[in-house]
Amino acid sequence: MTISGKRNNFLFSVNTCKLRVFLPAAGDWAAFSVALSPMVAHRAPALVSLADYQCEAQRRLDPGALAYVSGGAGDELTMRENAAAWQRLAIRPRVLVGVGQRDPGTTLLGKRRPHPLIIAPMAFQRFAHPDGELASARAAAKTGAIVCLATLASTTAPRLAQAVPDAPRWFQLYVFADRGVSRELVAQAVEHGYEALVVTVDLPVLGVRERELRTPLLATHAEQIAGAAAAGAQGTMTPPQFASLIDADLKWSDIEQFARESPIPVLVKGILTPEDARLAAEHGAAGVVVSNHGGRQLDTVFTGAEALPEIAAAVGERIDVLVDGGIRRGTDVLKALSLGARAVMVGRPVIWGLAVDGADGAARVLEILLSEFDTALALAGAPRAAGLDGSFVAPAPWAGARR
């Protein structure tokens, strides 16, 4: 495109990009050319990391849902530290060990699994996508992950099993004051092929969650939440009201009874000390999940990365140890297994995937983690995930003093 100058006037031109140019004429001057780049359609940036999915999910979720999924307890120190603690560990890579063939598999509760990723139990998933937990189960089926269905899910254990029969599945139990209701929920899960029972024990009362207090999640009809409906709850309820259904007087004797009565293995979720891990083993648990509830219960407790080594050392030879909290990279998975975990649970990132693209988004989040984990195994010189041990990690020199 050429624009020519003229004396004593202004030139007005319109280019093909709808750009208007005003040029004052100031004497004779030679014609000049303006090169314009061709118009190209804007393309949304590719989502290549879990952080990318987090940013996109934050844009899509409504304020109440965003506060629910993003918030933690108190000053949210533990929530932030959950991810930061993995970053304070450095990997000690080995070389020349032959990593052309790699095996990310693990053995969990005596069964061989293709990899160590489990979708953590999370309530009310329809706030992220209309398909909710069914979409998470489809993502699990696509990637070979285990999906752990929550008591306060927006679908029932039978319905998920019927809708996505290929998804490996566990059932998470909040124990209600009415033990008959809890036993019925467990019986339904067993009847429909759930392979393990995960009893969450770190929510006798709801933590102080200020984000949720400022911007609450919209109330939900009790009939739409499987566990609440089974407990006979009615009308619309908020998350704190749902939490009030849980028995605050749960004790180790209850865990022992569930373990004795259950035909499937029982894991105890919410363990942060070796003392409690030993008690879990002594009362019949087949495993523990080292967890601080995503930093949503008691602030300033240990992170999973910090609590894991002592717990694995205390009970790792007797029962299976899993961990959750802040898993955001494949290198985090490698570090967790090096510190003694057999598997990791992934929570918020799956919700981000659901919010962005339903089952496909959740599956893509898991695929990113699995791809990163495979790369980490190769570059760390660990061709078999089962061969990871404490020699592969050390405190990072960049981390400085512990918090």
Residue 360 identity (one-letter amino acid): D
Strand 320-324 relative to strand 20-24, pairing = unpaired
In angstroms, the CA 49 to CA 309 distance is 27
Judge whether 137 and 163 are in contact, CB under 8 Å: yes
Helix pair angle (348-380, 132-143), 10° resolution: 20
Write out the two tokens for 187: 């019986």
Q: Is 293 a catalytic residue?
A: yes
Task: Pick the closest to residue 232 from 195, 284, 159, 182 (CA basis).
Answer: 182
Judge whether 242 and 281 are in contact, CB under 8 Å: no
Write out the two tokens for 242: 């749902």
In angstroms, the CA 47 to CA 49 distance is 6
Judge whether 350 and 119 are in contact, CB under 8 Å: yes
Enzyme catalytic residues: 293
